Amino acid sequence: MQKYSVFNLIKNAFSNHENWDLAWKDPTPKKEYDVVIIGGGGHGLATAYYLAKEHNITNVAIIEKGWIGGGNVGRNTTIIRSNYMYDDNALFSEFGMDLWRRMSQDLNYNVMFSPRGIINLAHSDAQMNVYARRGNSMRLNGIDAVLLNREQVKEIIPMADFSENVRFPIFGGLMQPSAGTARHDAVAWGYARQADSMGVDIIQNCEVTGFDVSGGKVKGIRTSRGDIKVKKIGLCVAGSTNILAEKLNMRLPIETHLLQACVSEPVKPVLDRVVTFGAGHFYISQSDKGEMVMGGDLDGYNSYSQRGNMPTLQHVLTEGIAMMPFLSKLKMLRTWGGIMDMSMDGSPIIDKTHIEGLYLNCGWCYGGFKATPASGWTFAYTIAQDRAHELNAGYNLNRFNTGHLLDEKGLGTKTWIS
């Protein structure tokens, strides 16, 4: 594989950049694979990469219905953080933070990881107490957390509304300085390029139409480009999880919902952090191009439409303007939506299933993008070793039966409530 470096950049400049290798091939599916990963999104591509890199399993195919990186990895608001209170979530995410920090070097691909810090705003004394508790839990798990008072927040984000007579005055906030953002498409492409170079077949425009399971064991899959014999299958299809589970006669604690995001027109640098509103659900950062990147609530009813509806967008942006009034002067550039695999306790599932050779990776709710490297790493481990790593042991499917839920937000099973 051609290394991306400044020397190769200069060298290729002499041939007008017309002789670069393709970043990944377009192979025809083989008849048989050791592992097939269904879903060529961030998690699927990362899983294939770590299967090859960490476990030396390279007879692997990624089967993608559309094109790689065309789903949620290309539709998110690029936020990376590990500001969780529960041990299972905190340790898993912090392991991921470490992979994020090394990712550009590891993949020889600039993912533009920008650890600019995230501030969760608090709007009452009670919320400050809750944040102090969460911050303490984070620090016990070795994650950086700083509780900021009103004046400290004002110093960092002076453009927020600090007037006294507003409905939700800013009391302070909880900051994770090491959190940040990354270029989401680059993450998908970087993983794809490296996985491909280690022998993984990336098969696009190939829909999985059925499974061949006999004697409680995976034998193969049926696709729009022919049948494939396979020993192990990893399901990494986010919002389409229920559609494939139906073909396997499985019912999962997952509902598919639509989440919108939007960007404003580009403006000069104004916001150098990720900020979330504490009295609702709204998050914002500024991209390198200058666009304000914003997101918030689910549309609120089961949806596969991949495009949003106005009432939710209006509601979310109302929160944004309450927090940062200058946003009302900006024009909207683009809005879009992606379909989320909302789990019934708000935490993901990375586990084996009752079918031998079938592995499940789903339930990422609002937080799939930041989990990409840790999810790929632990899912690859689970597939290769046929057991969960201690990092994803808490993300088992059985917890819904035993009651060991990971309900970080305390919302219960109404996934559409935010």
- Contact residues toward other proteins (CB under 8 A) are 242-243, 246, 251-256, 300-305, 309-311, 344, 400-401, 413-414, 416
Report, in Å, the least distance between residue 308 CB and other proteins: 11
Q: Which is nearer to other proteins, 152 or 302 (CB)?
A: 302
Instruction: Give the three-state DSSP class for 227.
Output: strand
The candidate with the shortest Cα–Cα distance to 367, out of 42, 5, 28, is 42
DSSP designation for 417: -
Report, in Å, the least distance between residue 304 CB and other proteins: 4
AA letter at 293: V
DSSP designation for 240: G
Q: Which is nearer to other proteins, 62 or 313 (CB)?
A: 313
Q: Which is nearer to other proteins, 17 or 251 (CB)?
A: 251
Report, in Å, the least distance between residue 238 CB and other proteins: 13
Q: Which is nearer to other proteins, 308 or 373 (CB)?
A: 308
Report, in Å, the least distance between residue 397 CB and other proteins: 10
Report, in Å, the least distance between residue 107 CB and other proteins: 33
Q: Spell out a b/e string for 254-269, using b for 16 or more CB atoms within 10 Å of the CB, else e.
A: bbbbbbbbbbbeebee
Report, in Å, the least distance between residue 298 CB and other proteins: 10
DSSP designation for 254: E
Q: How many CB atoms lie within 10 A of CB 400?
A: 16
For residues 58 and 39, what is the distance between their CA atoms, to the nearest angstrom? Answer: 17
For residues 22 and 20, what is the distance between their CA atoms, to the nearest angstrom? Answer: 6
Compute and round to an integer the Cα radius of gyration of the chain: 22
Report, in Å, the least distance between residue 74 CB and other proteins: 20
Q: Which is nearer to other proteins, 253 or 296 (CB)?
A: 253
The candidate with the shortest Cα–Cα distance to 180, out of 103, 257, 126, 119, is 119
Q: Where are the beta strands (DSSP E) in 39-112?
A: 60-63, 79-80
Report, in Å, the least distance between residue 299 CB and other proteins: 9
Q: Which is nearer to other proteins, 279 or 405 (CB)?
A: 405
Report, in Å, the least distance between residue 39 CB and other proteins: 16
Q: Which is nearer to other proteins, 344 or 360 (CB)?
A: 344
DSSP designation for 21: P
Instruction: Give the three-state DSSP class for 50.
Output: helix
Pairing mode, strands 60-63 and 201-203: parallel
Q: Which is nearer to other proteins, 96 or 363 (CB)?
A: 363
Q: Which is nearer to other proteins, 154 or 315 (CB)?
A: 315
AA letter at 5: S
For residues 40 and 126, what is the distance between their CA atoms, to the nearest angstrom? Answer: 43
To which residue do tokens 């961030």 refer? 42
